[in-house]
Amino acid sequence: MTTFASTAHHYAAFRPRYPEGFFTLLTDRFQLDGTQTVLDLGCGPGTITLPLAARAGHVHAVDIEPAMISEGRKAAAPQGIGYITWACGDAAGLTGMGLPPLDLCTMGKSFQWMNQDRLLADLDTLICPGGGIALVSTGPRASTVRPAWLEIIKNICTDVIGPGYRQQHGPAAHPAEERDDALARSAFSRIETTRWNQTFTRTLDELVGLQSSFSYSSPAVLGTRQAAFEERLRHELTAFNPNGTFTNTVPIEAVIATRP
Ligand SMILES: C[S@@+](CC[C@H](N)C(=O)[O-])C[C@H]1O[C@@H](n2cnc3c(N)ncnc32)[C@H](O)[C@@H]1O
């Protein structure tokens, strides 16, 4: 069982889609016309896979966590879009997966969980000339634009899970490095960054559900503390904002990395 096993259901239900602009960027930058082969690595429940399958020819959706692959298959079935091959696998074994030559590898919030130098070297053997890598994740934001209720959630997490809870239950890969360091020393050292702001308005139930999708406050991490944790979230967030809607503007950052 991996870190994301207990989050998979909540991830599929409560995590948002990436901005449409991200998929337009991929389509323009890699001239996606329905004939490309793409790897979505660390695909989770198909957050990138599903919208991308409608634009590329064949998406190989790979994740180490079987529960994520199962959520992805469930979400894809009624949509019937594109051609997707779902596979459970570890990025560390990428070259042994029998993948075809790739035009693009996408990674949504997954690159930081992997051995980046090894993965980039492996991708260099799989990605065709002219192809590349696209990373997308939440970007940095000024503390002045953080809604105050995020501080309430952070304090409850610190009290219940413990100080340093994000580091303890988050990605461990290269914690001292900047995000683009491994790319800069890889074959894919030409880096272009694009940013969007995405605004979400959530109900209290959605906010509590979202919390279970994070590795650091997953049902597995909370264990027997889950009910008390949720009760405290509901109580303190309602006291702070009795109208029950919570709006947050999140910076999203995409990095396109190609060979120089
Ligand atoms: C934060 S989730 C991102 C899911 C999805 N890509 C998205 O953008 O919403 C990170 C995913 O990476 C997967 N993952 C972590 N380490 C992995 C590895 N070594 N090989 C394959 N997948 C991995 C996790 O199981 C999880 O589903």
Q: What is the pLDDT of residues 170-180, one digit of tens each?
A: 776 566 788 78
The pLDDT of residue 145 is: 77
Which domains, from first to last, does the chain contain? 5-258 (3.40.50.150)
Spacing, Cα 44 to ligand 1 middle (Å): 5
Check residue 144 and give its pLDDT.
61
User: Averaged over 31-59, what is the pLDDT?
Assistant: 96
| Model confidence pLDDT, tens digit, residues 74-115 | 999 877 667 999 999 999 999 999 999 999 999 999 999 999
What digits encode the pLDDT tens for the residues 233-258? 999 999 999 999 999 999 999 999 99
Which atom of ligand 1 is nearest the CA belonging to 137? 8
- Ligand 1 pocket test: which of 90, 113, 114 has the largest number of ligand atoms within 8 Å of its C-beta? 113
- In terms of Cα–Cα distance, which of 92, 136, 143 is closest to 118? 92
Task: Select from 1, 43, 110 the residue to mutate for testing ligand 1; criterion: most ligand atoms less than 8 Å from CB.
Answer: 110
Which residues have C-beta within 8 Å of that of residue 96, sequence separation ≥ 6?
A: none
Query: What's the confidence (pLDDT) of residue 173?
Result: 59
136, 252 in Cβ contact below 8 A?
yes
Judged by phi (left if over 0) then psi (alpha if -120 to 50, else beta), residue 162 lies in left
pLDDT in tens, 54-69: 999 899 999 999 999 9
Q: Tell me the CA–centroid distance for residue 112 and ligand 1, in Å.
A: 9
Coil, strand or helix at 188: coil
Tokens of residue 93, six digits: 């074994």
pLDDT for residue 141: 77
- End-to-end distance of the chain based on CA atoms, in angstroms? 39
Pocket residues: Cβ below 6 A from ligand 1: 2, 4, 15, 42-44, 47-48, 63-65, 68, 90-92, 108-110, 113-114
